[in-house]
Amino acid sequence: MTLSIGTKLGRYEIRKKIGEGGMGEVYQATDNDLNRTVALKILPAHIASQQNRLQRFVLEAKAASALNHPHILTIYEIGAVGDLRFIATEFVEGETLQPRIKSGLNLAQILEIAIQIAGALSAAHAAGIVHRDVKSENIMVRTDGYAKLLDFGLAKLIEPETLDGDPDAPTRAQIRTGPGVVMGTANYMSPEQAKGMQADARTDLWSLGAVLYEMVTGHVPFIANSATETLALILQKEPQPLTRYSDEVPPELERIVAKALTKDREERYQSAKDLLIDLRNLKRKLEVSAEIERTASPELHTSESSRTSNDGATAAISQRITSSSGSEHVVSIFTRHKLATLVVALVLASALIGIGAGGEAAITPYLLTRYFGLRAFSTLYGVTWTFYAAAAAVGPVILGRAFDSTGSYTSVLVALATALSLAAALNLFLPRYSNTPDVL
């Protein structure tokens, strides 16, 4: 039976339908007395009509409503309007854990959600309540990552009576997919549930272990084509290790999940508090490790800077040593490169003569004309021109090669040779003195 928008159930007014499952339909409604948004779950008629089951449900719902825990969905009221029975709970703005798992969760998010739900189970078990239907669809996650465990007591409510004389009755009782049974529950059932045995707090811890496995791998521990095959796998097989699906799973998380999914409940976690402690310790260790890495990174950078500074200081010390013995080094260079030194000396001398002429005369042609005559001038002028051009072209190269072994001297001397050689070259193109004979 679907309720239309605006339908009133006592002080509650239906706003929209937000879900549907084996336990009935769920609506978003407004509490007109308190002016707040709530969720209304309308119970199926076949459950509401069975007095003994309804009474048991009421008792369990009262116990759950007495729980005051931030990660347990708060039950406001169990009410009835005519033939309709409903549960009013807080409205959680968010989505179930299942689509979050499909979208992908990082390790920090996985641990945070697991810690929150383990805390909720610890509080419920301390109050004598076993959920018995812990699964990703019964965990709501708000947009800020805050998790809420839903439907306390409903799993107990939906267990049909065991049929005497039918060996398959316990299995069918758990996996029947008719009204009142949530689909997919078999994937989260503990071995004792699969055997039809009495469930206790450790049953919830198995189911939470299955949810934790699902958050890490993206799927439940045991996958089969039918619920019956799934239960057989739960009883007979071990789940694949988490590291098969992710290389980044810490060994401690692998251990926690393996212990939660131990088939013998005597070897499983004995309380939600124990599981909660292990999850918190793992989260704390990972946070400390991450903080150490963040702290080490600047220190490493500082260490590298220090090493660079030390290298720079060593280089500076080496430079000072080189400078202190520079004169001896230059003398040794002149000794080893006699020819080069002579050529460089001629280049520098000719350049200085050209510069010394005042920048308005080609001093070399003038001297050649005065002391050797016109014919000598005409002959040697071309030689001089050629010498200047060669000096301008190869002077820096010769000088650089001659002083290559001097290290830091090279750049300075090459620059000097380049400047002087260019000055000599420019001397070729400057106007001659007026008293220089015209050779043309």
Give me the DSSP letters along 210-277: HHHHHHHHSS-S---SSHHHHHHHHHH-PPPPGGGT-TT--HHHHHHHHHHT-SSTTTS-S-HHHHHH
The residues that are catalytic are: 133
What class is the 94-157+182-290 domain? mainly alpha
pTM of structure:
0.61
Where b means 16+ CB within 10 Å and e means fewer, 114-129 reads bbbbbbbbbbbbeeeb
Q: State the average pLDDT for the chain.
A: 73
Give residue-wise pLDDT tens across range 78-125: 888 888 888 899 999 999 999 999 999 999 999 999 999 999 999 999
DSSP element (H, E) containing 38? strand 36-42
- Which range of 149-153, 347-351, 360-364, 398-402 scores highest in mean pLDDT? It is 149-153
User: Could you give the 3-state DSSP secondary structure of residue 70?
Assistant: coil
Please, what CATH class does the domain formed by 8-90 belong to? alpha beta
Cα(290)–Cα(275) distance, rounded to whole angstroms? 23
14-27 average pLDDT score = 83
Q: Among 210-224, 226-240, 396-410, name the one with the lowest average pLDDT.
A: 396-410
CA–CA separation, 75 vs 64, rounded Å? Answer: 7
pLDDT at position 205 over 60 = yes
Over residues 208-217, the pLDDT tens digits come to 999 999 999 9
Q: What dihedral do alpha carbons 217, 223, 225, 226 form, nearest 10°?
A: -130
One-letter amino acid for residue 352 of the chain: L
pLDDT at position 64: 74
Backbone angles phi, psi at 17, to 5 degrees: -85, 130
DSSP assignments along 284-314, one per residue: HHHHHHHHHHHHHHHHHHHHHHHHHHHHHHH
The DSSP string of 317-334 is HHHHHHHHTHHHHHHHHH
pLDDT at 303: 53
CA 149 to CA 147: how far, in whole Å?
7
User: In the predicted model, is pLDDT for residue 201 greater than 70?
Assistant: yes
What residue segments make up the domains of the chain, in order of their start? 8-90, 94-157+182-290, 326-427
Q: What is the pLDDT of residues 253-290, one digit of tens each?
A: 999 999 999 999 999 999 999 999 999 999 999 999 88
